[in-house]
Amino acid sequence: EGDGPEYNYLFKYIIVGDAGVGKSCILLQFTMGRFRAEHDMTIGVEFGHRFVEIDGQTIKLQIWDTAGQEAFRSITRAYYRGATGALLVYDITRRASFDRLAEWLVDARQNAQPNMVIMLIGNKSDLERREVSYEEGAWFARQNGLFFLETSAKTGQNVGSAFMDTANQIYENL
Ligand code: GDP
């Protein structure tokens, strides 16, 4: 009592992908409904949470962000430990971030629990100057057994769906 809201399940999520793809912004948009345009590592969000309902059950989504560590390639096993969901993010306006997905997947498969649900996200869908087509993203997801959405952390488009589709799948796997 008095320790905050009650919940039936806790799902840990991690957000991975190259620096600059919009991981912190996705977290901020989902947890606070806000967008921050200036890139400032010093105020990078590291953790966030939000309560959601599935089937009348209250679920706490606890979300971990790398907060800049990915630049130093030091994402550790501890980060993956217990994670039931992962958002694997690239930037549709930067092909290099898409080309690195295979490496991120190897890392995830080596460190994560086998049933971790992975949602591939092509972020910055509000921008016109794309370098990666929707079809390429969908194809990569299909080849690797991932879910797929394009999102905008700026407008909020599909951000909620990315977390909720993942949560529904984790819930089904329980
Ligand atoms: P991280 O390093 O992956 O955590 O990336 P950030 O969340 O810090 O975002 C990097 C930069 O991209 C920042 O300047 C953001 O404002 C910008 N950004 C992130 N998401 C979006 C988006 O959906 N649309 C646009 N236009 N810019 C974005």
Q: How many CB atoms lie within 10 A of CB 67?
A: 16
What pLDDT, on a 0 to 100 scale, did the predictor assign at position 1?
52
- So what's the pLDDT on residue 79? 84
Token pair belonging to 79 = 């980060």
Residue nearest to atom 7 of ligand 1 (CA): 22
Q: Which atom of ligand 1 is nearest to the CA of 125?
A: 23
Per-residue pLDDT of the chain (174 residues; tens, 9 = 90+): 556 679 999 999 999 999 899 998 999 999 999 887 765 554 455 789 999 999 999 999 999 987 666 666 556 677 889 999 999 999 999 999 999 999 999 989 999 999 999 999 999 999 999 999 999 999 999 999 999 999 999 999 999 999 999 999 999 999
- Please indicate whether residue 157, judged by its CB atom, sits closer than 6 Å to ligand 1: no
**Ligand 1 pocket member 153 (CB < 6 A):** yes
Task: Give the model's pLDDT for residue 5.
Answer: 75
Query: Alpha-carbon distance 72 to 89, whole Å?
Result: 17
Q: With contact defined as beta carbons under 8 Å apart, do 88 and 17 qualify?
A: yes
Q: What is the ipTM of this complex?
A: 0.99
pLDDT of residue 42: 45
